[in-house]
Structure formats: C-alpha cells, structure tokens
Chains A and B, each alone.
Chain A
Amino acid sequence: MTIGQTLLGLLEEAGPRHGYDLKRAFDERFGHDRPLHYGQVYSTMSRLLKNGLVEVDGVEPGDGPERKRYAITEAGVTDVASWLAQPERPEPYLQSTLYTKIVLALLTGRDAAGLLDVQRGEHLRLMRELTRRKTEGDLADQLICDHALFHLEADLRWLELTAARLGRLAAEVGA
C-alpha cells in the first residue's frame, strides 16, 4: 500500500505533524482524484506507529487520535528510501476483464464488435475529460493526466487491434 509510504515521505519532508496536516498535504499534492478520508489517515498512522516507522512527538490535551503529533523515525526514513528505490511492477493486465468479456460475448453469440465500440467510446470520453483538465491545469495536473492518458491510449490501441482480429479470435475460441 502506498498511502503509508507517501504519508511517511511527507512527514520526512515537513517535520513533525498532526494527522490532519498530513492529510492536507497529501490531498494538495496527490489527492486530485481521491482525497484521503480521515479514517484512512489515522488507521495508517497507527499502523506506522506500531511498526516503529513513526513515533509520537507530542500529544495535545484532550483525547482521540487527532491529538497526536507524529515524527518520522530512522526506520521510517529507511523505509521511504527503499520504497523509492524499488521499481514498480509493470502490470501487464494478462487477465483483463475486457478480454474475458469479449470472449464471452463471442461464445454466447452476442455483439462483440459492438461491445468494443462502446468501450472505445467510453475510453475516449474519459480521455477528452482528462485532456480538458490538463489544458486548464498546472504542470502537476498535466503530468497526472498524461499518465492516465497514455495508459488509456494503450488500452484503446488494444481495442482497435482486437476489433481488427475479431474474426480470427472467434474462430480460435470456437464461437
């Protein structure tokens, strides 16, 4: 899970912070699509605490987890460093839902070409939305949207190629 490491990294950068400030920093930098829930922040912080990656730097009067101020530990710094050094596993989506749907459509005699067209339309609709966001946004928006756009484009190329090979696929799956 990357929320933990992201919060750790923010904590390393900013120095001791309350959970609330970490959430704000996270949302501001990375939460474009999905801001964090408070619950997520506090459960993540207590896990990091249990694992010795953060420590409580101070507690304000009152009760509840939001009173705690956290500081990153040396183990926490090491954890962030090794997470950043570790490449992400490329996800080849070998068992894609779309592939399954297409084969099932062929096997059950449904309109697989139509399914591909509808999916294509859906992909492009999202791409248009991201493009709009990108042209109106700052550099951070552009980079985040571009990442999504390149992935959607790859999917779309696969949809096109599959549409062109539908006849052969039907023969091979025995539809």
Chain B
Amino acid sequence: MTGPLLHAENLHKTYRSTPALEGAGLAISAGEIVAVMGPSGSGKSTLLQCMAGIVRPDSGTVTYDGRVLSELGDAERSRLRRADFGFVFQFGQLVPELTCVENVALPLRLAGRRRRDAEQAALPWLERLEIAGLAGKRPGEISGGEGQRVAVARALACSPRVVFADEPTGALDSLNGERVMELLTAAARQSRAAVVLVTHEARVAAYADREIVVRDGRTRDLESSR
C-alpha cells in the first residue's frame, strides 16, 4: 500500500480577519474520488485552492507526490499545476475567443505541444464527452451544460494526476449535472486520476468514493469517525 498522492495536513488560512481554514486536512490516493461537502462559507473552496497550490496556507503543509508545495518556487509550482493538475469550476472559464477544440487543446499547448498535435489530442476528449459536434463553435455559441463538458474535457486532456472540481455542476440542471458527473468520474477512473470534488449536492457527492465534511474550517471524515 503506497501513501496518499496528495496530502493536506492541519491547514490554517485567514483572510484579513476571516478565518477560512482552522486545521483542515485531507489525504487522497491516486485514482480516488473524494467529495468535499459542508455549508456555504465553511472553507471548501479555500481547502481546494490550498491543495492545488493556488492559495498558500498560513500554516500546515500540502504534500504532492512527495513534494511540499510551499517549498517549491513559484515557477515550479505553476509548472506542476499545468502538467499534473486539471481544473473544473462552476462556470467553465473557457476562453471566449477560442473554439471548443482550441479551448480543450489549450493546456496541451501551454505544456509545449504544437497546435495541430494538441488539437489532434483534444478531439478524442470532445468525443468522450459527447460534444465532438461542437469542436468548431465558440463558448458564446453553446449552452451552459455543453460548456461544462468542454471544461471537463479540457481538465482531463492533459492527463492530470489530480482533478480539482469546485461545484462543477453548480450551474446545471440535475439531468445535465448528472451526465457531467458520470462522464467526469468515468474518465477519471479510467485514467486513475484522483479527484477532489467540492459540492453541496448530495447526489453529486454520491459519484465519489467517499466524502469529507468541512465545518468552520475543519474537516471531518464521517467514515472514519464511526
């Protein structure tokens, strides 16, 4: 049994005078999908951002694949984010000027692949997410649910080892939300990516392997507290 791929321990983070995390932690193994639940304002997004190296905690450590994120230089940390992590947020964050296939290819191009090559690699992901027909359209020309699928394709296209998803279905109706979850979890399972899934919807969390609850900046693992 190997250790966790990504491990946050005893994280504290205060924004000005607002405490967001007060001793939160989470360990996640390769291929594992963990739902992070909890009331609004409890610190879920802050935890995700600390684990992804986007926000630096005031104290506590995040270890990814044996490396402590806060000990890496900025350049090294963004390289890691680009190469090893994928992101899906509530609103797709697609680049409006680019077509869907260009959006999905973007992380690959940032990682140094040539345009044609990156778009060739992006196409199967559009197919996988059942949106191959949208390849040439721009985000302004597709629905919110379709945009979310493009965002999932983009997050997965660079074969990330960890996918960070913050309310990935928050803007979708339940049928579309479930389809996006089905496609996201199936793809993640197949490529053995770990997924940190922030959601307040139980039916979305039910796609994960386990859940943790954040309350007042602290995490609790319901399964192990039994």
Contacts and interface: CB of A to CB of B under 8 A. Distances in A.
Nearest to B207: A131
Contact of A124 (B182, B202, B225, B226): B202
Main SS class of interface, B = loop
Contacts of A127: 202-203, 205-206
A130 B202 CA distance: 12
Given A149-B203, A153-B202, A128 B220 contact: no
* Range, interface on chain B: 10 to 19
Given A124-B211, A135-B182, A164-B39, A117 B206 contact: no
Given A124-B211, A135-B182, A164-B39, A130 B226 contact: no
19 contacts: A117-B213, A118-B222, A118-B225, A118-B226, A120-B222, A121-B211, A121-B226, A124-B202, A124-B206, A124-B222, A127-B202, A127-B206, A128-B206, A128-B207, A128-B209, A135-B182, A135-B186, A149-B203, A153-B201
Interface of B: 39, 182, 186, 201-203, 205-209, 211, 213, 220, 222-223, 225-226
Q: In the A-B complex, list the 7 residue pairs whose CB atoms are closest, starting with the nearest.
A: A121-B222, A127-B206, A131-B206, A156-B202, A153-B202, A128-B206, A153-B203
Interface of A: 117-118, 120-121, 123-124, 127-128, 130-131, 135, 149-150, 152-153, 156-157, 160, 164
